[in-house]
Chains A and B, each alone.
Chain A
Amino acid sequence: MQLVINGAPRQVSENLSITELLVTLAIQGRLAVEVNGEIVPRSGFSAYYLTANDTVEIVKAIGGG
């Protein structure tokens, strides 16, 4: 299925949880995830299954003033 992840379309396998998506993308560490504008708490990553055309934002802290 296709998702929009951090602004770019991306093909991923069906029935993918957020936890599995992060593994697929090789992303780890402190981050926050928004699906269709709603924050999904970290504790809910493994139970949250994505659906086609979901818009996903994965953000982290970077250097700034």
Chain B
Amino acid sequence: MNEQTQMSAETDDLVIAGVNYKSRLLVGTGKYRDFAQTQMAIEVSGAEIVTVAIRRTNLGQNAGEPNLLDYITPDRFTILPNTAGCYDADTAVRTCRLAREILDGHRLVKLEVLGDQKTLYPDIVETLRAAEILCREGFEVMVYTTDDPIIARRLEAIGCVAIMPLAAPIGSGLGLQNRFTIREIVETVRVPVIVDAGVGTASDASIAMELGCDAVLMNTAIAEARDPVKMASAMRHAIVAGRLAYQAGRMPRRTHAAASSPLDGTFFT
């Protein structure tokens, strides 16, 4: 990086609900081998916003086992509790209220209300209902949704602080399936657009950023890589590369070749 791009990169913050973040990569904490690996991968990813799920504590012989939040601490990271596993609005709202209690009144949540276990596709009717309740209760809602610009606009109108369309189904690693709809959403809403789910490798993350997305949220692409810590580093670079390419503005596409060396002044005929 030269001095100028470095400077502009420093001021190019991601702003969610009035809070500035340097990193445009958000990461999950699921599917890692252990908390030590989770911690190392997240450290290397440079992510500042980290998702967690809310579940029953283990009773009996596993009571007193280590706690994720002792490794990924709320004083260092913005903890983003999700509503994963919820298939209706009421369960999602209940999960967010419990998360707020666990995190001492913390208001930022990732809302996801799913339709079925096969596709893990968002149930938009329930998602809209939950978003309305949560926004009314003062939650700052980052919402997982389909890649539909009209729904994105509705969710923004309800008061969601970030729109998070899927690139492909959760955990599929198929990469961004519809550049057109993602691009439309970026042009439609004013709050940050964060591609959430479906990224498989670094180039997928770059493509999302090149389309003008404000950030990318991923879990499996890092956690299920052969070397999660190295993939976390790859993703960090991919996000920065994609963002810079978006800001730089790509060259126009041409149907035919265009020589890079001048045709004038050749010494041969």
Check B51–A64 contact: CB distance below 8 A.
Answer: yes
Q: Which stretch in B9-17, B79-87, B148-156 binds the other chain?
A: B79-87
Chain B's closest residue to A64 (CB) is B53
Which residue from A25, A28, A30, A63 sits with its C-beta under 8 Å from B29? Answer: A63
Interface size for B (C-beta < 8 A) is 37
Interface of chain B: mostly helix, strand, loop or mixed: mixed
Check B57–A34 contact: CB distance below 8 A.
Answer: no
Q: Which stretch in B66-74, B184-192, B233-241 binds the other chain?
A: B66-74
B63 adjacent to chain A (CB < 8 Å)? yes
Complex contacts, B84 vs chain A, CB 8 Å: 64-65
Check A6–B53 contact: CB distance below 8 A.
Answer: no
Check B55–A60 contact: CB distance below 8 A.
Answer: yes
A26 adjacent to chain B (CB < 8 Å)? yes
Check A61–B102 contact: CB distance below 8 A.
Answer: yes
Q: How many A-B residue pairs have CB under 8 A?
A: 104
Chain B residues numbered 212-231 whose CB sits less than 8 Å from any CB in chain A: 217-220
Minimum distance in angstroms from A15 CB to a CB of chain B: 21
CA distance A22 to B67 in the complex (A): 15
CA distance A57 to B103 in the complex (A): 17
B56 adjacent to chain A (CB < 8 Å)? yes
Minimum distance in angstroms from B199 CB to a CB of chain A: 11
Minimum distance in angstroms from B200 CB to a CB of chain A: 14
- A-B pairs with beta carbons under 8 Å apart, 23 shown: A7-B56, A10-B59, A25-B63, A27-B59, A28-B64, A29-B67, A29-B69, A29-B70, A30-B103, A31-B57, A31-B102, A32-B54, A59-B57, A59-B98, A60-B54, A60-B67, A60-B102, A61-B69, A62-B29, A62-B53, A63-B29, A63-B32, A65-B51
Spell out A's residues near B (CB within 8 Å). Answer: 5-8, 10, 25-32, 34, 39, 41-42, 57-65
